Structure 1
Amino acid sequence: MKFFVDTANTDDISELAATGLIDGVTTNPSLIAKAGRPFTDVIKEICDLVEGPVSAEVVATEYDGMITEGRKLAAIAENVAVKLPLTWDGLKACKTLTGEGTMVNVTLCFSANQALLAAKAGATFISPFIGRLDDINLDGMELISDIRQIYDNYLFDTEILAASIRTANHVKESALAGADVATMPPNVIKSLATHPLTDKGLAAFLADAEKAGIKV
């Protein structure tokens, strides 16, 4: 499974990129707004920090505007993936931009039928929102599994990018359900390495080493 970090904070991205565990970055207008800097400057800096795809989202809601903005975003760097909403105009724009060789991340997916349409439109990534489905008492993981089966049935190349991930358990369940990518905030990525028994075991080893006077 690929790991994308969901943030526009370049300090966090730089720190995580140094571990070699990050395969890409996802952003959205809300995250960019928190950065408090010009949109294109932030995207360019992020693209310089990571080699993998960097999702940058359009704000237009109609086809012509999406195409204009999408082309501008794609011109920032070769690893930009233009992020489009899963609307009828978004699907039309997806078909056009992918036809031009641009990576496209179709976002705000909440049903298997939507994911099927995105794949037929040539999406590079489809982003089902797990956490938001959980919020309304629907099973986000069931959606991941359904999309996985449909894509495998018809050999679609579109990658399933599990989004709206909030916990370490979301990551595990997404991996088990067959998601190709998980995008998550920096704190969730870091939480994957923690376990109380690891901390307890390390403390015991260090205490024993101190008692025995062990030095390396």
Structure 2
Amino acid sequence: MDQNLLERLKAYTVVVADTGDINSIEKYRPQDATTNPSLITAAAQMSEYADIVGGALAWARKEAGQGGDPSAVVNLAFDRLAVDFGLRILAIVPGRVSTEVDARLSYDTQATVEKGRRIIRLYEEAGASRERVLIKIASTWEGIRAAEILEKEGIHCNLTLLFGLHQAIACAEAGVTLISPFVGRILDWYLKDTGRKSYPPAEDPGVVSVTRIYNYYKRHGYKTEVMGASFRNLDEIKELAGCDLLTIAPKLLAELASARGELPRKLDPDAARGMNIEKIAMDEATFRTMHEADRMANEKLSEGIDGFAKALSTLEGLLLERLQKGSAS
């Protein structure tokens, strides 16, 4: 049968849509979907989702009570908005949705735990099972510790902004459900740092990093799933065919759906189990030492947190403007 590359990929990798655009999710019908503050902010500005934004603000006004402080209303509305988008997505996909904790809490374990619990509570109050939700947390040491606490409470986590093996090992040791190593952002850093224009697909630094993490996990029997994320081109996806999951933006999903040809499996758990890969003992001191030594991971983690925080600030501004217009009318 003449299958397109998207169909071939689905044969051995769970395909996840990396978008907050519900229309795109309906079109490509992935198993799961992931969102982040940037994607939610973009979706919230689309006219077709005005009803979701309006509903979140109305709910937040009611929760805050009469005369509630606008900033408190906006804060409540953001959580509601992220969950409402997630609920719409869960009505389409058969699997899970990832909803992100406020990136500004990335270095605060307790605040991250409390926010994760709150997000799950909102989903459950709306009738969604926690088994279908992943709480998305930045892969700082503090974020990983928060995920460890949440996982013990039956709240599953997706550790994002992951760029180094040390982060991946710490996540696996903490028993997190899933990690999202950022393939394209790793490539971006190396292109800028080296001045190169490109890498051969198999030598792409992001591909090499995720392959190393995948093989490490399978060799040492970790249950944590690896979901490659942040792709720049089809070659990166092809080189990671066989990874547990891949979260892919609509543009690249469209390219996969329109392309034909062979798609050999590149990552294989049986092959990984036979590899000679030394196990690294991970504690906080080792994590921080490795993180400081990994200039790419250090810079990209900070940059990613800052980027998501800015997207949140933009979204809060949009919500505040909408709130004030509603109050004036």
Check the 8 A contact 1:5/1:13 in 2, yes or no. yes
Q: Is the 8 A contact 1:27 1:55 kept in 2?
A: yes
Q: Is contact 2:82–2:99 with CA below 8 Å preserved after alignment?
A: no
Kindly provide the CA deviation profile for residues 18-66 of structure 1, in whole angstroms up to 9, marking residues without a partner as x.
xxxx110010011111121322221221122212110100002311211
Corresponding residue for residue 84 of structure 2? 41
Q: 2:174 matched to 1:108?
A: no
Does residue 5 (structure 1) correspond to residue 17 (structure 2)? The answer is: yes
Q: What does residue 71 of structure 1 align with? A: 117
Instruction: Check 1:195–1:179 CA distance in 2 against 1; reply closer, same or farther (3 A cut).
Output: closer
Q: Which has the higher strand share?
A: 1
Distance of 1:16 and 1:48 partners within structure 2: 14
SS in 1 for 2:222: coil
TM-score by length of structure 2 reads: 0.56
| Matched-pair identity in % | 34
Q: Distance in 1 between matches of 2:225 and 2:260?
A: 34
> Unaligned 5+ residue runs, structure 1?
198-216
Give the gaps of 5 or more residues in structure 2. Answer: 1-12, 45-52, 54-80, 191-203, 262-329
SS in 2 for 1:179: coil
Hey, what's the Cα distance between the residues in 1 that align with 2:114 and 2:168?
A: 24
SS at match of 1:69: helix
* TM superposition shift of 1:166: 2.4
Do residues 190 (structure 1) and 254 (structure 2) align?
A: yes
2:31 counterpart of 1:23: yes
Match of 1:205 in 2: none
> Helix, strand or coil for the counterpart of 1:49?
coil
Amino acid at match of 2:243: A
TM-score, normalised via structure 1 length: 0.83
Say whether 1:133 aligns with 2:133: no
The 1:52–1:82 alpha-carbon spacing in structure 2 relative to 1, beyond 3 Å, is: same
Name 2:220's counterpart in structure 1: 154
Q: Number of residue pairs matched?
A: 191
Question: Residue 145 in 1 paired to residue 211 in 2?
Answer: yes
How far apart in 2 are the matches of 1:5 and 1:195?
18
> What secondary structure, in the 3-state scheme, does the structure 2 residue paired with 1:51 have?
coil
- Kept in 2, the 8 Å contact 1:55–1:80? The answer is yes
How far apart are the structure 2 equivalents of 1:117 and 1:40? Answer: 28
1:85-113 CA deviation, whole Å, 9 max, x = no partner? 00111111110111111221001111111
Distance 1:40 1:141 in 2: 32
- 1:194 Cα deviation after fit: 2.3
Q: Find the aligned partners of 1:99 and 1:196 in 2 and give their Cα distance.
A: 44
Larger RCO (CA under 8 A, 6+ residues apart):
2
Contact in 1 for aligned 2:226/2:243 (Cα 8 Å): yes
Give the CA deviation at 1:188.
Answer: 0.6
> CA RMSD of the aligned region, Å?
1.6
Provide the C-alpha distance between the structure 2 equivalents of 1:183 and 1:195, rounded to a whole number of angstroms: 18
Cα displacement (A) at 1:141: 1.0
> Is the CA contact (8 Å cut-off) linking 1:2 and 1:182 kept in structure 2?
yes
For the 8 Å contact 2:180–2:226, the answer to whether it is kept is: yes
Contact kept? 2:83, 2:99, Cα under 8 Å: no
Match among 227, 235, 240 for residue 169 of structure 1: 235
**Distance of 2:258 and 2:83 partners within structure 1:** 35
Q: CA deviation at 1:196?
A: 8.2
